[in-house]
Amino acid sequence: MSLPTPSSRKSYSRFLLLVAGLGGLLYGVDVGIIAGALPYLEATAGLDSGQLSFIVAAVLLGSVISTLFAGMLADLMGRKWLMALSGLMFVVSIPVIALAPGYGMLVLGRLLQGVSAGLIGVVIPLYLAECLDARSRGKGTGIFQWLLTLGIVAAALIGMYYSMRVEEVSKLGDAKALLAFKDHAWRNIFWVSLPPGILFVLGCLMVSESPRWLFTKGRKEAARAALLRSRDEQQAELEMQEMEAAANKARTGTGVDGVKESLLRRKYVIPFVLACVILACNQATGINSVIGYSTNILLQSGLSDVQAHRGTVILTVVNFLFTLVGVALVDRRGRKFLLSVGSAGIILSMLACGFLFRQAEGNRVDCAAELNRRLGTASSLNVTFTQAEADTLLAQAGASAGLAGKPASLVIIYSCGDFRTSTPALRSDDLAAKPASLTREACLPVNGVAAFFSNPFADLEASRKAPLRIENALITPLPEASTGWLTATAIFCFMAFFAVGPGVCVWLALSELMPTRIRSNGMSIALLINQGVSTLIAGFFLPTVGRYGYSTMFFGFAACTVVYFITAAFFLPETKGKTLEEIEKSFGG
């Protein structure tokens, strides 16, 4: 059998990166596609707010479920076939959603997308770490993250395109035609995301299985052949020898003296703990909240509605472009350097955002008492926030001095029992704004599963009998637009530092630090911790912002990122240019 030529090895490495990148693209589409489809789904599907909320959250539920078992499945099936299965689930989910006649099929399709995303999040970084050589592993895993951000941007652009089409149809003045086109629009938004899924599945069938997985299954010649597709013969032989020593220990669980090794030894515990801390801190930077609430944050900072939406688009573009910068630097400067610089920049950016918001929030006024009086024992309340209404509420709260007549924003936090939600930020200078509708249905999850992910400690049955209550109705004077752009700049800097450092390196830390014996299951546990922290932050974000303002949240994110910086700068070893076996050996000293 002739050996692959250098050009064929280079071509295969590029193809492998392309296939893995398509997996990242699917992950990003999973996360972002619902945002563009949701307004038209809401207008045409006849679903209540609780059902719509669960359709949005179903991806998270599916992801959590599959993450629990992804490591076990990767060991059982192999990395290649689990990648193909995850892509196939995504492909199947598209017609299930796009052709869905009602709520049940929509939930099923979204759950399939979530399961697909959870599997992809574990298996592709695992596959790349085990297949790429030490020189290109950082770039390869970085490309996964880069195309993930491209998936989010692509989903936003697809949504924007159909919003423009809907606007054109609305100008015709035909309500029936507009409703039909909105139904057509949200279904087409999902159909458009089908081709990348098909290409990913086909690509998975054409790449080799992970050489390290093959080796652990005793298929040494297949492992050598897989290595030779992307390495020269000398490098392949060296890695085979390293795998021989590492795989023997992994299979027998014994040390050099033949005594069975405990998983509590430092060579397993330290890298596992480091990976879990990094994955938890990655969410504790506030990345999901900043992206998810970016428009509201910019509206509260003093920007107009158009400016805030423009700022959100800029934020996604910054994420995409600086992820590319991180990909270019990760194998040159190293993981430790990028994580240290990125986390330090996040701290400074969050502190800047916190101080800018503190200036306006020092003058905020809570008008919950007056709105609770208007609500009484009713199960819903509509609030139209005009300048006159703002002045009335401020006067009734006894705090109109110096604030009357000035533009302000209103955020209402309301609850039913143990569950709470909030209105979007309403501005008194927005003459076209719709009234805020406060309803019990918007507070309560649609079922017990959604309730668990909203608040694991809540009592859903008791909450369904609880009265609707307004916890906070916070009127905040709007800063000048110049302050808004300063805040936006700080948020863009946050996004740039995150993309260059944690955004690219988190997947590497996850896959490189875990020893062979625990890699697949350890990655599943670490990702589960990551998702748990994300869910926890999502649960207390709105109540904290409602009671204490955005500044408190930003200061909290900065404090959590200090832990990230200390971990990266003082405890994380540099893994650039090392094989997985060399990294594992460094923790055994």
Give me the pLDDT at residue 344, please.
96
User: Does residue 303 form part of some domain?
Assistant: no
User: Does residue 296 form part of some domain?
Assistant: no
Check residues 329 and 400 and name the one with the higher pLDDT. Answer: 329
Give me the pLDDT at residue 343, please.
94
Check residues 468 and 535 and name the one with the higher pLDDT. Answer: 468
Q: Which residues contact 486 (CB under 8 A, 6 or more apart)?
A: 356
Give me the pLDDT at residue 92, please.
94
Share of the chain above pLDDT 70, in %: 88
Number of domains in the chain: 2
Give me the pLDDT at residue 247, please.
60
Let me know: does 349 contact 494? Beta carbons within 8 Å.
Answer: yes
User: Does residue 543 form part of some domain?
Assistant: no
Domain-ending residue, one of 479, 511, 529 = 479
User: Angle, nearest 10°, between helix axes 305-333 and 294-301?
Assistant: 120
Check residues 348 and 287 and name the one with the higher pLDDT. Answer: 348
Closest CA to 420 of 436, 405, 442: 442
Give me the pLDDT at residue 248, please.
66
User: Does residue 112 form part of some domain?
Assistant: yes
- Residues 444-455 have a mean pLDDT of 73
Give me the pLDDT at residue 28, please.
79
- The answer to whether residue 262 scores a pLDDT higher than 90 is no
How far is Cα 385 from Cα 194, in angstroms, rounded to an integer? 42
**Could you identify the residue written with the tokens 């509420």?**
393
How far is Cα 504 from Cα 486, in angstroms, rounded to an integer? 26
Work out the pLDDT band at 95, boundaries 50, 70, 90.
Answer: very high
- The answer to whether residue 494 scores a pLDDT higher than 60 is yes
- The answer to whether residue 455 scores a pLDDT higher than 70 is yes
Let me know: does 390 contact 428? Beta carbons within 8 Å.
Answer: yes
User: Does residue 425 form part of some domain?
Assistant: yes
- Residues 163-181 have a mean pLDDT of 81
Domain-ending residue, one of 183, 215, 246 = 246
We report the CATH number of the domain holding residue 217 as 1.20.1250.20
- The answer to whether residue 48 scores a pLDDT higher than 70 is no
Domain-ending residue, one of 479, 507, 529 = 479
Mean of pLDDT over the chain: 81
DSSP symbol at 518: G
Tokens linked to 288:
């999901």
Centroid of chain to Cα 161: 23
Give me the pLDDT at residue 257, please.
45
Each residue's pLDDT tens digit, 113-167? 889 988 888 888 888 878 877 677 677 777 777 888 888 778 777 877 887 787 7
Give me the pLDDT at residue 259, please.
46
Work out the pLDDT band at 256, boundaries 50, 70, 90.
Answer: very low
Give me the pLDDT at residue 410, please.
85
- The answer to whether residue 489 scores a pLDDT higher than 70 is yes
Residues 228 and 373 in one domain: no
Give me the pLDDT at residue 402, please.
66
> How many of the other CB atoms lie within 10 Å of CB of 23?
32
User: Does residue 556 form part of some domain?
Assistant: no
- Domain range spanning residue 419? 365-479
User: Does residue 457 form part of some domain?
Assistant: yes
- The answer to whether residue 272 scores a pLDDT higher than 80 is yes
Residues 231 and 372 in one domain: no
Each residue's pLDDT tens digit, 507-542? 777 777 777 677 777 777 877 887 778 777 876 776
Each residue's pLDDT tens digit, 283-331? 899 887 887 777 778 877 888 767 776 787 788 889 889 988 988 888 7
Each residue's pLDDT tens digit, 190-238? 888 888 889 899 988 888 888 888 888 888 888 888 888 878 788 888 8
Q: Three-class SS string for 436-454?
A: EEEEHHHHCCCCHHHHHHH
Check residues 343 and 546 and name the one with the higher pLDDT. Answer: 343
Residues 372 and 231 in one domain: no
- The answer to whether residue 107 scores a pLDDT higher than 50 is yes
